[in-house]
Amino acid sequence: MADVKSPVSNPREEVPRDPETQQAELTDLPHGIDVEQYRATVPRWKRIWQHSLTQMVLLSIQAFCGPAMSDAITGLGGGGLATPQVSNISTAIRYAMLAVGGPIVNKIGVKWALVIGSMSFPIQGSAYYCNSKFGNQWYLILSGAISGIGTACWYVAEAGAIMTLAPSGARGKYLALWIVSRNLGQLVGGAINLAKNHEKGAEGGISPDTYVAFVIIESLAVILILCYGLPFALLIIPFERVVRSDGTKIVTAETLSTKQELRRIAKTVTSRLIMLSSLWALWSFFYSGSWSTYLGIYFSVRARALSSLVSPFFCIVGCFGLGFILDMKGLSQRRRAQIGLYTVIILNVGVYIWSIIMQVKFDHHNPGHIDWDDGIYAKSFLPYFFVQTTGPLSQSYMYWLLSSFATDAQENVRNGAAFRCIEAVGQAVAYGMNTQTTSDPIIGFGVTFGLLGAAIVPMIMLVNSTPDQIPADVVAEQQNAAREKLEGA
């Protein structure tokens, strides 16, 4: 605990203070605040700006403009291409690059990591457009490496923020809000896909004009950044200035030197928390390569376009449902962690069994390109539909669980970075593997199912050791007690 900022070192003198001095003292409070004094001395606009929910909404707006549009393109199945091989190679490279970029976020800060990340997302959309319009596949592959560096900064900063901003009793709902922002982007992208690619009998890739719309939306974040003084990124304030809805402030640690930070990262990577959750991290998004390939092989262009529109709907309901379970007041944090884990596992197992059954049938009789008016469409598409919910549920749950062990905001960033790096390795392997399984996703389905099975026992061990109170909250209580003792001296 030596890194945690110590409480006020000297008792506050009982002398008249001007409003600016009062505001400075409020900012310096280790954890809780005097709500009445805060309201009396801080302008309403600043209180709204500093509110944890406002910061989460700002982060969600950025997620809508960038990652959500990227996911919508991937949701076309092979990026909407006639064959998914080139898309899988590009995506594998992007996630491989992402895996090596995360650990720098604690040094450059969440805000600037988000700026760099926001500028990288339009590259992917433009590469898909150029590939579809001009056939230059080299740019599609190169974009995977270029955008991977930027998205590494984004994803790690995002992971740390979403685990840190929420008050302890509302972490599940905050995480659900983040998931919803991602899926609202997919809804918009899906509507564009369907509007541009609804004609029956279309073969090959989707309409090139579709990518123009994606590039415009993805570029919105960059355009606003350049034209309006970095509004999204600069409105993300340092963690120590955030005031949560329950009146608490975020526990932060002293800034470490580069050498100290690298040592702390190495310690995090080898910690019990990360070791026990590593297989879950490797598995958590491994499904995306196989199911994207499944969609690209067996469904028509307009069926793929429809899938990108309807797939997010159930995810929104499911993630808020899980959020309510994880935030239940009447159960201990450990019990909520256990219920959440078993819920996620059971749902995923059901979807995987269904998907494997459908793929075995397709191996015996290739259905060709299934359209939405074919009789086989519903039972063939529903596994993909449900995995778009069970997959994000796994992510949302894991970030909630990781935040249950953190002692401060910086540790959340390190834990999130480690988890996302392992997750990115899994995604890179999944998409790379699917470049070699062009006609039969059954191998990918089997490997994904096997990874889930291997991850269950370590996760049960981890979940059964979940503390009944977040360590950061314990630290905050100790800081407050020390501050009150000093003030009463």
Lookup: tokens for 332: 């201990």
Q: What is the pLDDT confidence band of residue 250, given thresholds at 50, 70 and 90?
A: confident
Q: Which of 16-25, 48-57, 181-190, 351-360 has the lowest mean pLDDT?
A: 16-25
In the chain, what are the domain boundaries? 46-249+270-480
Coil, strand or helix: which one is 77? Answer: coil
- pLDDT tens string 13-41: 333 444 434 443 333 444 566 677 878 88
Q: Residue 149: CB partners within 8 Å, gap ≥ 6?
A: 97, 101, 120
CB atoms within 10 A of CB 96: 19
Q: What is the pLDDT confidence band of residue 12, given thresholds at 50, 70 and 90?
A: very low
Question: For residues 438 and 85, is the Cβ–Cβ distance under 8 A?
Answer: yes
Residue 342 has pLDDT above 90, yes or no: yes
- Mean pLDDT value of segment 153-166: 81
- Of residues 280, 344, 315, the one with CA closest to residue 177: 315
- Of residues 289, 327, 241, 274, the one with CA closest to residue 159: 274
pLDDT for residue 19: 40
pLDDT for residue 227: 43
- pLDDT tens string 79-132: 555 455 666 666 666 666 655 555 567 677 777 787 777 777 777 667 776 766
pLDDT for residue 225: 40
Coil, strand or helix: which one is 242? Answer: coil
CA distance 144 to 98: 10
CA distance 164 to 410: 9
- pLDDT tens string 408-430: 777 888 888 788 878 877 877 77
What top-level class would CATH report for the domain 46-249+270-480? mainly alpha
Residue 72 has pLDDT above 50, yes or no: yes
CA distance 19 to 16: 10
CA distance 57 to 37: 26
- What share of the chain has pLDDT > 70, as a percent? 68
- Mean pLDDT value of segment 152-164: 80
